Every structure is written in structure tokens, then in C-alpha cells.
Amino acid sequence: MPELPDLTVYQEHLAARIANRRLLRVRLLNPFLLRTALPPVSAVEGKKVEKITRLGKRIVIALEGELYLVLHLMLAGRLQWEAKTPKRITLALFEFESGTLAFTEAGTKRRASLHVVQGKAALDAIDPGGIEVLGATTEDFYSRLKSENHTLKRALTDPRLFAGIGNAYSDEILHRAKLSPIALTQHLSCQEIERLFAATREVLREWIDRLRSETGSGFPEKVTAFRGEMAVHGRYGKPCPVCGAPVQRIVYAENETNYCARCQTGGRILADRALSRLLKKSWPRSIDG
């Protein structure tokens, strides 16, 4: 799922191409994409784009008349500009004065969504409420983190607490902060929270800068949660770039948590809900056996 760094670059490139341009036509190629009925999608046609914003992991195209297109890419949704996209994965086409934006989704599971809403109150109702960490104070971060008692992995990826952070960047943040993904938020010291706050801001800023540089003046194309330059995410079994120990993982449903046991858990290998139950006493307790 595209997270804050990718979405920020999407947002910037959309603004450069469609801000102050009229949306001429919306072509829905998959009716299940649209999750609202009023106002009708036709209401946005002919309207000028005022700005491009973001609500957590949702991209918002604000048009005159307090009309908003809210695009949630979910896991496999992507945006493409002036590109010939296969019909089987194209969910919608937005035809602007300056060109056509395609909303695509790979695979067969249709999770991506489009909402058309009118009025600030209707837009706010979609907002999960998570704070933007790059614009937050230490006190804001501390308050959100301590508001509920969850594992750090769950807390960072909770859209009600923090905006735009998902599976990939939470792994990178926790590795940078040298904190276990299963550490409980209520048990963290002030020093650990300060370290986590600093790591969150550093990782997100670094990746925004990296993706901006990679994309250049073109439209973002290689939008993926798995990048070779990442420290631990998607790198199970490969050496940690800090200590060289093999990266470990916890698999649950469709999510995977990657971490370095030596850097983050004092050498302890965290139990995998499926594999550790299968192996029982044979499950390794530490990276040193």
C-alpha cells in the first residue's frame, strides 16, 4: 500500500499537472470503485481543481464548489498520468484540460475506492483522525502514542493515531529507533518515545527526498512497498545493514513485520503465530540458537 512518502510525491506531481485546471470528464470503468451516491460523480465535471491534499493515505482532489474527489489506493491501487493502461486493471479515468489521470488496481480484489463528497464536514467525516507526524510536536506524538496500550507496530500503523504510516515504513522506523515491534506503548520510557519520534521524522523525510529525486520531473511509476534500499522491510533472511544479523519476520494474515533481532530485541527471535506453534520446542529463541 502506498504510504506517506509515495503519496506525498503523488500529491506534488498531481498539483503540478492539474491544479487550476478543469476536470472535463470522469469515466468509471468499474462501478464498484465509487462508494458514494450523493452528490453524483457528474457533479465534479467542468469544475476547476483548487488544490491537492491528503487525508492519511487518501489523496484528495479539491474542486470549486466545495466538491472533493477522495481516492484511496489501498494495497494495489496506483495512479498513472497520460499512460495507456490495460482495461482489466483500469478502474477510472479522469480527463483534465491538461491530460488524463488513470486510477488502476492490480489483482482481482477490488479494495481501492473513490468517494465524491461536498462540503468540509463531509470531507472531515472521512478523515480517520491520525496526526501528521512531520508537522507534530513531541507532545502531540507522546499523547497519541500513550492514548491506548498497543504494540508499537500496531500503534504506528493505526490511522486513528498517525497519518500515512503503514506496514513498510513502520518496520523502517522501528529499526532506526532500535525498538521492538511488539513493545507496548504504555511501557515506553520518555527517552524511547523521543527516539521513536526522531526516527519517524527522519525515515519519512529521507524517503520523501529519495523518491522525489528518483521521480524527477516524470510522474511516479515505481510505487512499491518493497525497495532494495530499505533496511529491514521485505528483506527477510538478508543481513541487517547495521549489524549484519539476518533480518527476521513475523507473518500474520496478509501482513509481515520485519525486524533485526540483534538491533531491536536484544537477540530474541519473536514468536510467529503460525510457525512457532508448529515448531513448538524447536522454535529458536535467539539468533545465536
State the helix-helix crossing angle for 167-177 and 190-215, rounded to 10 degrees: 130
Do residues 90 and 104 lie in contact, with contact meaning Cβ atoms separated by under 8 Å? yes
Q: Which CATH class is domain 133-282?
A: mainly alpha
Domain boundaries, the chain: 4-126, 133-282
pLDDT score of 269 more than 80 = yes
Per residue in 191-222, pLDDT tens? 999 999 999 999 999 999 999 999 999 999 98
Do residues 76 and 109 lie in contact, with contact meaning Cβ atoms separated by under 8 Å? yes
Per residue in 122-179, pLDDT tens? 999 999 999 999 999 999 999 999 999 999 999 999 999 999 999 999 999 999 999 9
User: Could you tell me which residue, 242 or 282, shows the higher pLDDT?
Assistant: 242
- Quote the CA–CA distance of 70 and 91 in Å, as a whole number: 14
Please state the pTM of the whole predicted model: 0.93
- Quote the CA–CA distance of 23 and 12 in Å, as a whole number: 18
Specify the pLDDT at position 286.
Answer: 61
Specify the pLDDT at position 288.
Answer: 63
pLDDT band of 278, cuts 50, 70, 90: very low
Per residue in 217-240, pLDDT tens? 999 998 998 999 999 999 999 999
Whose grid coordinates read 491537492? 52
Q: Topology of 4-126 in CATH?
A: N-terminal domain of MutM-like DNA repair proteins (3.20.190)
User: Could you tell me which residue, 281 or 166, shows the higher pLDDT?
Assistant: 166
- Quote the CA–CA distance of 96 and 210 in Å, as a whole number: 29
Q: What percentage of the chain carries pLDDT values higher than 70?
A: 93
